């Protein structure tokens, strides 16, 4: 960071706001699961909210007397209002769908926000006195982070269309017409109008390796780069005089509040520490004039956490741009997904862009990589079948894995072979067959070990199905037993396990239910077949939070956000203390809630430990604090065996 700042001609000056009347609002999980804080000119910090579910994204009203924010007190995300001192909080939107990212109209009478109430993220407005919300956008892509123009006639926002995030402007009176604002080749998000309305500031990038703060003159189209970083930037807001741009940056594995003098390019870091500090906003009645030599507003001191342990603390990841966040929770492994059908669309014709991107993201985050390989290309399976159908010839799959393992030799820690093959729709809508799967696993293991002997082979985690429902679904224990009877022993380094408990806690032991202890039952099958030397890798585990959307088999089986946090932490504790034969546990999931290709009713979004607006759910904070606490107690003490560890 210092070298980059020097390169840009910036000066990094620690500081906090000067004498009153300055009041800087921001959100932070420094004292819990997300609260709105006020930092005044004397360095005094006031916590305005204390809801266990978390509050985020505070925004001042134009007169500086009220704050709008995203609140989770009602069990979902809503837009709330409160007085500047935290008094009289009230739920403005109170809709069972998730509402977030508020911004005020210049007259202070309305709020524009993002809502998922019609199935995806759209823009809505609502008057602060209540009443029905007005839907502005009706499209098939996710809209994000709106900002109202000072003149009140337009709204700038970000949207992901055809895989590219771009900034658009819509006219309030004709919202069906949107205008893209950025030139070709430049992606952007988080637009905020300057106080005079002549320009917008935004976060932009060309290849995600460098992310910058820009301004765009709306009349001339002139772009100006204000600041560049190699990590995430966001949550922009202006001071009322247009001299200061506030934002969130990252330093030392944490989100920090920053202030940039737009004219002088002086950069001030206003907060520090392991907390997630975000969404800075200066009261429009306040001035801001920091001076050099002042101390930072610090969170509790960071603890050193050894993330390169012999145990795999992993996450399933959707958006590769969020990979670095595992550093904040002190995890060390990422699970990515490789579709054979995409990578080898024709025999011997390889398109490596997807695995290249996964490896680049994981290595950039300092993580080891588990790749799940699945999906047969059309040329390798019978006509008129789906990608989940196993290949007609296992040798075709072996040749692909040989090419894959050779290309990434020494870079991929492990390969998980297929996904939940005890379900008919994961086995080409055919009756699951442990013997057929074992033949595929054997071919895969031989190929991978020949190409990269150090890489580990993980068998596919079966879905936890109890006794199953033959012929469509085979019970997970029966499937594992069938694998051993077909000769699978010796053809994997670790048995893959997926564990979902339909809302039950990790300590629940009720009979005739799928509990977290199902993993121990799978282990007993291994021992019965003389395979106690092999490890277990939990490649998926998680709890979905309650939502009003119909999630099919998971509907009405969710947990609260606080229960999700408690259960996930307890699951890792239980694995650590009770199951020394488990060598890796991958949480499902970090960020599927943010994936633009999933609608609001997609069940995988509700397992995420990040909210759709990228803010942390309580589970994220709980995991960070759990791993930091381990630094005091000492890391996992289970003795590793050859082939069990992540290198």
C-beta of residue 86 within 8 angstroms of C-beta of residue 133: no
Sequence-separated (6 or more) residues with CB below 8 Å from residue 494: 414, 456, 457, 458, 459, 534, 535, 536, 537, 583, 584, 644
Global pTM reads: 0.92
What pLDDT score does 555 carry?
73
Domain match, 279 and 372 both: no
Whether residue 441 is predicted with pLDDT greater than 90 in this model: the reply is yes
pLDDT of 307: 56
Which residue pairs, CB below 8 angstroms and at least 24 apart, start in 135-141?
Answer: 136/112, 136/170, 136/172, 136/175, 137/170, 137/175, 137/178, 138/176, 141/596
* pLDDT per residue as tens digits for the range 53-72: 899 999 999 999 999 999 99
pLDDT mean across residues, the chain: 90
Confidence check: pLDDT of 6 > 70: no
In this structure, what CATH number is given to the domain that contains residue 372? 3.20.20.80
- In sequence order, what are the beta bridge partners of 550? none
Using CA atoms, how far residue 34 sits from 55, 565, 610, 615, in Å, is 5, 13, 12, 9
Token pair for 372: 């799940």
At 455-472, the pLDDT tens digits run 999 999 999 999 999 999
Cα-based torsion angle of the residue sequence 216, 219, 220, 222 in order, rounded to the nearest 10 degrees:
-10
Q: How many structural domains does the chain have?
A: 2
pLDDT tens for each residue of 398-425: 999 999 999 999 999 999 999 999 999 9
What are the distances in angstroms from CA 225 to CA 8, 183, 228, 264, 344?
10, 14, 8, 13, 40
- Residue 495's domain comprises 312-633
Q: Which of 278, 302, 326 is the last residue of a domain?
A: 302
The SS3 assignment for 196 reads coil
Contact 221, 234 (CB under 8 A): no
Share of the chain above pLDDT 90, in %: 80
The sheet that has 11-14: what strands, in order across it?
11-14, 266-269, 254-261, 244-251, 234-238
pLDDT of residue 644: 31
Average pLDDT over residues 7-25: 47
Query: Is the pLDDT reported for residue 434 higher than 50?
Result: yes
- Residue 444 resides in a domain: yes
Domain limit, last residue, from 251, 281, 302:
302
> Residue 334 above 80 pLDDT?
yes
CA atoms within 13 A on the CB side of 177: 5
Is residue 574 included in any domain, yes or no?
Answer: yes
Average pLDDT over residues 434-456: 98
Assigned domain for 53 exists: no
What is the 3 state secondary structure string of 352-410?
CHHHHHHHHHHHHCCCEEEEEEECCCHHHCCCCCCCCCCCCCHHHHHHHHHHHHHHCCC
Structure tokens, 139: 């499209």
Take residue 309 and report the two structure tokens written for it. 């342990």
247 shares its domain with 354: no
| 538 touches 516 (CB < 8 A) | no
Q: Are strands 11-14 and 312-316 parallel, antiparallel or unpaired?
A: unpaired
492 in a domain, yes or no? yes
Report how far Cα 220 is from the mean position of its chain's Cα atoms: 37
Q: Which residues pair with 249 in a beta bridge?
A: 256
Tokens 């789906």 belong to 386
Regarding whether 442 and 415 lie in a shared domain, the answer is: yes
424 in helix, strand or coil? helix
Residues 339 and 284 in one domain: no
Cα-based distances in Å from 632 to 116, 304, 306, 496, 637:
42, 9, 11, 31, 13
Same domain, 439 and 532: yes
Task: Give the C-alpha separation, 506 to 575, whole Å.
Answer: 10
Shared domain check, 330 and 256? no
What's the whole-number mean pLDDT along residues 575-603?
A: 96
The rounded percent of the chain whose pLDDT value lies above 70 is: 91
Range scoring the smallest mean pLDDT among 175-179, 531-535, 612-616: 175-179
Q: pLDDT value at position 502?
A: 87
Q: Residue 273 has what pLDDT?
A: 83
Q: Are 265 and 226 in contact (CB under 8 A)?
A: yes
- pLDDT above 90 for 337: yes
**CA dihedral angle for residue 375, residue 378, residue 382, residue 387, rounded to 10 degrees:** 30
Would residue 80 count as lying in a domain? no
> Among positive and negative, which fits the CA dihedral 425, 427, 429, 431?
negative
609 falls within a domain: yes
pLDDT tier at 298 (50, 70, 90 boundaries)? Answer: confident
Instruction: Write out the H or E segment, with its range, that includes residue 568.
Output: helix 561-578
Task: Based on the fold, state whether residues 327 and 298 are members of the same structural domain.
Answer: no
Cα 569 to the center of its chain, rounded Å: 17
Banded model confidence at residue 552, pLDDT cuts 50, 70, 90: confident
Of 290-299, 312-321, 543-552, where does mean pLDDT reach its minimum?
Answer: 290-299
Average pLDDT over residues 210-226: 95
Res. 306 pLDDT band, cuts 50 70 90: low
Residue 195 lies in a domain: no
Are both 251 and 331 inside the same structural domain? no
Q: Where are the beta strands (DSSP E) in 395-508?
A: 414-417, 456-459, 468-469, 473-474, 494-499
Gap between the Cα atoms of 605 and 589, Å rounded:
8
Query: 505-524, pLDDT tens digit by residue?
Result: 999 999 889 999 999 999 99
In the chain, DSSP finds a helix count (H) and a strand count (E) of 10, 37
Calpha distance 34→609 (Å, rounded): 13
Give Cβ neighbours of residue 5 (< 8 Å, ≥ 6 apart).
Answer: 11, 12, 267
What b/e sequence results for 532-545 when a residue is b if at least 16 CB atoms lie within 10 Å of its CB, and e otherwise?
eebbbbbbbbbbbb
What pLDDT does residue 548 have? 92
- Which tokens go with 634? 């000492």
pLDDT tens digits for range 136-182 = 999 989 999 999 999 999 999 999 998 899 999 999 999 888 999 99
Nearest alpha-carbon partner for 94 in 54, 133, 137:
133
Token pair recorded at residue 584: 């890796």
pLDDT of res. 304: 67
Residues 329 and 276 in one domain: no
346 and 438 belong to one structural domain: yes
Q: Do 290 and 317 belong to one domain?
A: no
What does the alpha-carbon distance between residue 427 and residue 389 come to, in Å, rounded to a whole number? 5
- Determine, yes or no, domain membership for 644: no
525 and 388 in a common domain: yes
| Non-local CB neighbours of 625 within 8 Å, separated by 6+ positions | none
pLDDT higher than threshold 70 for residue 632:
no
pLDDT score at 17: 34
């Amino acid at each position: 960071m210092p070298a980059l700042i020097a390169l840009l001609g910036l000066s990094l000056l620690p500081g906090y706001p000067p004498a009153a009347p300055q009041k800087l609002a921001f959100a932070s999980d420094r004292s819990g699961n997300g609260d709105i804080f006020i930092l005044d000119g004397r360095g005094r910090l006031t916590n305005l909210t204390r809801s266990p579910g978390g509050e985020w994204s505070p925004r001042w009203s134009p007169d500086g007397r009220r704050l709008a924010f995203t609140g989770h007190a009602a069990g979902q995300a809503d837009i709330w209002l409160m007085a500047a001192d935290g008094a009289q909080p009230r739920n403005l939107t109170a809709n069972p769908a998730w509402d977030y990212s508020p911004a005020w109209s210049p007259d202070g009478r309305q709020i524009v926000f993002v809502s998922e109430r019609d199935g995806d993220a759209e823009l809505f407005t609502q008057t602060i006195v209540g009443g029905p919300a007005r839907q502005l956008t009706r499209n098939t892509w996710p809209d994000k982070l709106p900002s109202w123009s000072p003149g009140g006639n337009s709204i700038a926002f970000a949207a992901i269309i055809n895989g590219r995030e771009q900034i658009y402007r819509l006219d309030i009176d004709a919202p069906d017409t949107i205008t893209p604002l950025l030139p070709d080749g430049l992606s952007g998000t988080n637009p905020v109008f300057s106080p005079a309305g002549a320009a917008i500031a935004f976060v932009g990038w060309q290849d995600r390796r460098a992310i910058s703060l820009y301004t765009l003159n709306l009349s001339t189209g002139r772009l100006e780069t204000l600041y560049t970083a190699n990590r995430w930037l966001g949550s922009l807001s202006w001071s009322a005089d247009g001299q200061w741009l506030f934002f969130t940056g990252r330093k030392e594995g944490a989100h920090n509040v920053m202030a940039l003098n737009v004219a002088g390019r002086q950069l001030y870091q206003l907060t520090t520490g392991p907390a997630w500090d975000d969404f800075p906003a200066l009261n429009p009645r306040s001035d801001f004039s920091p001076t050099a030599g002042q101390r930072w507003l610090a969170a509790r001191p960071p603890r050193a956490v050894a993330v390169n342990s012999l145990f795999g603390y992993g996450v399933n990841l959707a958006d590769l741009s969020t990979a670095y966040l595992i550093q904040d929770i002190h995890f060390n492994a990422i699970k990515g997904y490789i579709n054979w059908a995409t990578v080898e669309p024709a025999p011997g014709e390889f398109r490596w862009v997807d695995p290249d991107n996964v490896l680049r993201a994981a290595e950039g985050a300092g993580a080891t990589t588990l790749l799940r390989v699945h999906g047969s290309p059309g040329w390798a399976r019978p006509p008129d079948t789906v990608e989940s159908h196993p290949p007609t010839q296992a040798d075709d799959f072996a040749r692909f894995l040989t090419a894959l393992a050779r290309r990434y030799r020494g870079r991929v820690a492990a390969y998980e072979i297929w996904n939940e093959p005890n379900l008919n729709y994961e086995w080409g809508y055919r009756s699951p067959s442990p013997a057929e799967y074992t033949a595929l696993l054997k071919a895969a293991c031989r190929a991978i070990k020949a190409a990269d002997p150090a890489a580990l082979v993980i068998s596919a985690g079966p879905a936890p199905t109890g006794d199953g429902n033959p012929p469509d679904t085979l019970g997970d224990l029966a499937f594992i037993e069938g694998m051993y009877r077909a000769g699978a022993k010796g053809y994997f380094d670790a048995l893959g396990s997926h564990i979902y408990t339909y809302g039950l806690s990790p300590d629940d032991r009720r009979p005739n239910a799928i509990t977290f202890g199902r993993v121990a039952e799978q282990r007993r099958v291994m021992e019965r077949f003389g395979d106690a030397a092999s490890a277990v890798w939990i490649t998926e585990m998680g709890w979905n939070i309650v939502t009003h959307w119909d999630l099919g088999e998971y509907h009405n089986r969710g947990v609260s956000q606080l229960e999700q946090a408690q259960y996930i932490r307890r699951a890792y504790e239980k694995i650590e203390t009770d199951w020394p034969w488990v060598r890796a546990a991958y949480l499902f999931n970090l960020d599927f809630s943010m994936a633009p290709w999933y609608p609001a009713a997609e069940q995988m979004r509700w397992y995420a430990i990040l909210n759709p607006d990228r803010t942390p759910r309580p589970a994220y904070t709980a995991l960070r604090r759990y791993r930091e606490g381990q630094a005091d107690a000492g890391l996992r003490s289970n003795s590793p065996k050859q082939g069990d560890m992540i290198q």
